[in-house]
């Protein structure tokens, strides 16, 4: 698709009268009627001065009406200063009853210039779409805002042409998946999701704190997760359930009380959730991230229960501290009883570390052996292992191979889960922190992706699914590391092409 780029740089005109008509604007930016004037202030000329007491929602705005119905990529910046009452500042897009944030400045100090930047992909659809400044406070008559040097770049039709679906590339090997969240449910993100992936994992909406009541005895909150499941199934995608038992994002009441009460709460939650989704979800992450880090070879030679995360070894392990390491097996037994047909997974990160991988392998082998020999099970209790792939630039792909060899001996399914490769040196988390990657970093990241997928194909007899953890860099939880296959505009990076043809890419960029 041809790219058309329209660059709009706002150069302030030296108006000295108040703007009383929204059409009487400053090269596109204008305030609400009677609220603004153009002034020189603090050594800056052509500054929009806004009397904030008149409004706190759309203080000043820039119309996007000419782009109605067109997908656009917006890059925005402005210098903003507030005098008066305290409060946050943010710029949003007003679009058909939704107000996505393009730039947010929390707890912005008064009497100081703040440089605000942001970027967003959007398709204006309502009759009055705009970018606008919101003030997030109850303004007083003394609150004044100054906006200097606003700049907007708008790219129209910036998305690259249709690409060969990844699910087609790997149709003879394994399922290709990604996460689903509110952002990915609609628009270009959903189109990317549906085009390339055939299985999804809810990023947050099935975790205990999102489903279970905040107080014991309350009602379960099914709406968001149900909407995701129904839409994914209607579009031919499978859903991986994630997650039933975790030390994070769990209501405190579940673990309060006696050991017996905590066990009952755990069983009841698992039973409630699995029966609600029965017949719609074929596999579940039952327990997530139960094994501790920094294990030594000596640790893995002993009882696997001594390798389980606890408050003595890690900073938070509520299920272990209340019930003990047996909570893991208890959870899988409850899940098997609640839904005999579903495939039950254990999911963990850092399994390219040989010591942690061995501890997990020992745990699964022990629980499965006792389930068959002591409890009369006719199949393995833990039927899948999820190998989280939150990797970075220092990944040793051969360590992943060793782990695959180790887990292959268990005779269960293997899924590569939560795959992303961060190239950040800072460890910063949270979305909208993405930057432009250097060409060398983009190539090196892509080579790691190519090596991984070449390896995954070698083990496609046991790997049933490879699931990414994010579609594009801007929306990723590790955004600062640009870890995904697509950039913030949803254009394919070199990593995408590396996955599409690992051998060809590695030959082109051979070391």
CA–chain centroid gap for 384, Å, is 23
Res. 165: pLDDT tops 80: yes
- Percent of the chain beyond pLDDT 70? 89
- Ranges of beta strands (E only) in 257-377 are 283-288, 343-348
Helix (H), strand (E) at residue 115:
strand 114-122
Q: How many residues appear in the chain?
A: 511
Per residue in 249-262, pLDDT (tens digit) is: 999 999 999 999 99
Tell me which of 285, 329, 418, 434 is the catalytic residue. Answer: 418
Residue 283 makes CB contacts below 8 A (sequence gap 6+) with 240, 241, 342, 343, 344, 345, 384
User: Can you tell me which residue has the tokens 């490769």?
Assistant: 421
In this prediction, residue 8 has a pLDDT band, given cuts at 50, 70 and 90, of very low
Q: Residue 287 and residue 332: Cα distance in Å, rounded?
A: 8
Which pLDDT does position 53 carry in this prediction?
54
C-alpha distances (whole Å) from 5 to each of 153, 175, 326, 489 are 8, 37, 59, 13
Chain-wide mean pLDDT for the chain?
A: 90
Buried (b) or exposed (e) across 198-225, using 16+ Cβ within 10 A? bbbbbbbbbbbeebbeeeeeeeeeeebb
What lies within 8 Å, CB to CB, of 162 at 6+ separation is 195
Cα dihedral 185, 186, 187, 193 sign: positive
Instruction: For residue 397, give both structure tokens.
Output: 């792909």
Fold of 198-382: TIM Barrel (3.20.20)
Q: Which helix (H) or strand (E) holds 132?
A: strand 130-134
Confidence of residue 446 (pLDDT cuts 50, 70, 90): very high
Decide if 442 contacts 495 (C-beta within 8 A): yes
What secondary structure letter does DSSP report for 57? Answer: S
Average pLDDT over every residue of 24-51: 80
pLDDT band of residue 168 (cuts 50, 70, 90) is very high
Whether 28 and 10 have beta carbons less than 8 Å apart is answered as yes
User: Which pLDDT score is estimated for 158?
Assistant: 59
Written as six digits, the tokens of 341 are 């047909």
CA distance 290 to 250: 14
Asked if 4-156 and 198-382 have one fold, the answer is no
pLDDT band at 14 (very low <50, low <70, confident <90, very high): very low
And the tokens for 38?
């153009």
pLDDT band for position 55 (cuts 50, 70, 90): low
The class (CATH top level) of 4-156 is mainly beta
Where would I find the beta strands (DSSP E) of 13-55? Answer: 29-31, 36-41, 44-51
Cβ distance 78 to 61 under 8 Å? no
Cα–Cα dist 241/150, whole Å: 45
Structure-block tokens of residue 364? 């699964």
Mean pLDDT over 260-276 rounds to 98
Residue with more model confidence, 19 or 49: 49
Tokens of 304: 């696997």
- What would the two tokens of residue 302 be? 């002993």
- Give the residue, 134 or 383, on which the prediction is more confident: 383
pLDDT value for 7 = 43
Is 444 tagged catalytic?
no
> According to the model, what pLDDT value does residue 29 have?
82
- Lowest-confidence region among 32-36, 314-318, 356-360, 395-399: 32-36
The verdict on whether omega for the bond into residue 75 sits within 30 degrees of 0, i.e. cis, is no
| Confidence check: pLDDT of 120 > 50 | yes
DSSP per-residue string spanning 65-87: GGGTTS-EEEEEEEEEEEESS--
Confirm whether 289 is a catalytic residue: yes
Residue 22 predicted with pLDDT over 60: no
What's residue 88's pLDDT?
Answer: 79
Q: Span 208-224, mean pLDDT?
A: 97
**d(C-alpha 263, C-alpha 443), whole Å:** 49
The mean pLDDT of 318-341, rounded to a whole number, is 97
- Token pair listed for 390: 């939150």
Q: Sketch the domain layout of the chain as residue ranges.
A: 4-156, 198-382
As a whole number of angstroms, the distance between CA 151 and CA 287 comes to 48
The per-residue pLDDT for range 472-489, each reduced to its tens digit, is 999 999 999 999 999 999
DSSP three-state, residue 403 = helix
Q: Is the pLDDT of residue 113 over 80?
A: yes
CA 145 to chain centre: 34
Q: What percent of the chain has pLDDT over 90?
A: 71
CA–CA gap between residue 174 and residue 181 (Å, rounded): 23
- Pinpoint the alpha helices (H) of 339-396: 354-373
pLDDT of residue 138: 53
Q: In degrees, to the nearest 5, what angle opens at C-alpha 149 toward C-alphas 148 and 152?
A: 125
Q: Is residue 60 within a helix (H) or strand (E), and if so which, with residue range?
A: strand 60-63
- pLDDT value of residue 511: 78
Contact 197, 167 (CB under 8 A): yes
Residue of 203, 348, 434, 442 marked catalytic: 348
Q: Is 63 helix (H, G, I), strand (E, B) or coil?
A: strand
Question: Of the residues 58, 263, 285, 289, which is catalytic?
Answer: 289
* Closest C-alpha to 202, from 173, 172, 222: 222
Active site residue 348: yes
pLDDT for 139 beyond 60: no
Helix (H) or strand (E) holding 178: strand 175-180
Instruction: List the structure tokens of 182.
Output: 């509110």
């Amino acid at each position: 698709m041809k790219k058309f780029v329209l660059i709009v740089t706002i150069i302030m005109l030296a108006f000295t009268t108040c703007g009383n008509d929204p059409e009487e604007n400053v090269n596109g930016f204008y305030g609400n009627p009677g609220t603004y004037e153009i002034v020189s202030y603090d050594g800056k000329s052509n500054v929009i001065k806004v009397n904030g007491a008149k409004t706190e929602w759309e203080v000043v705005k820039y119309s996007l009406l000419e782009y109605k119905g067109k997908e656009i990529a917006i890059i925005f910046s402005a210098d903003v200063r507030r005098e008066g009452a305290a409060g946050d500042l943010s710029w949003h897009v007003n679009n058909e009853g939704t107000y996505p944030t393009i730039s947010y400045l929390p707890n912005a100090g008064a009497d100081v210039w703040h440089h605000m930047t942001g970027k967003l992909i959007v398709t204006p659809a309502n009759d009055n779409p705009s970018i606008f400044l919101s003030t997030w406070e109850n303004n007083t008559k003394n609150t004044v805002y100054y906006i200097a040097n606003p700049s907007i770049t708008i790219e129209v039709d910036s998305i690259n042409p249709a690409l060969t679906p990844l699910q087609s590339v790997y149709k003879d090997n394994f399922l290709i998946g990604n996460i689903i969240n509110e952002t990915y449910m609609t628009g270009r993100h959903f189109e990317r999701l549906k085009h390339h992936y055939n299985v999804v994992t809810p990023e947050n909406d099935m975790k205990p704190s999102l489903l279970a009541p905040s107080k014991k005895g309350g009602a379960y909150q099914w709406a968001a997760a149900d909407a995701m499941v129904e839409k994914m199934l209607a579009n031919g995608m499978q859903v991986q359930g994630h997650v039933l038992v975790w030390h994070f994002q769990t209501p405190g009441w579940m673990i309060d009380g006696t050991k017996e009460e905590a066990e009952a709460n755990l069983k009841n939650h698992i039973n409630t959730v699995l029966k609600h989704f029965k017949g719609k979800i074929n596999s579940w992450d039952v327990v997530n991230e139960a094994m501790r880090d920094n294990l030594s070879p000596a640790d893995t030679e002993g009882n696997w229960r001594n390798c389980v995360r606890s408050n003595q070894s890690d900073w938070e392990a509520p299920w272990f501290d209340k019930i003990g390491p047996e909570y893991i097996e208890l959870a899988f037994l409850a899940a098997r009883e609640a839904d005999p047909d579903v495939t039950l997974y254990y999911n963990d990160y850092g399994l390219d570390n040989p010591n942690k991988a061995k501890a997990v392998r020992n745990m699964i082998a022990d629980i499965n052996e006792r389930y068959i020999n002591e409890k009369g099970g006719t199949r393995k209790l833990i039927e899948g292992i999820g190998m989280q792939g939150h990797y970075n630039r220092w990944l040793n792909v051969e360590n992943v191979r060793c782990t695959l060899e180790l887990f292959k001996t268990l005779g269960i399914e293997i899924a590569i889960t939560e795959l992303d490769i961060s190239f950040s040196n800072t460890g910063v988390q949270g979305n909208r922190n993405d930057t432009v990657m250097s060409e060398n970093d983009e190539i090196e990241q892509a080579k790691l992706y190519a090596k991984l997928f070449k390896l995954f194909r070698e083990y496609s007899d046991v790997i049933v699914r490879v699931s990414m953890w994010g579609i594009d860099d801007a929306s990723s939880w590790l955004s600062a590391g640009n870890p995904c296959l697509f950039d913030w505009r949803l254009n394919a990076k070199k990593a995408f092409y590396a996955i599409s043809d690992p051998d060809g890419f590695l030959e082109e960029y051979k070391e």
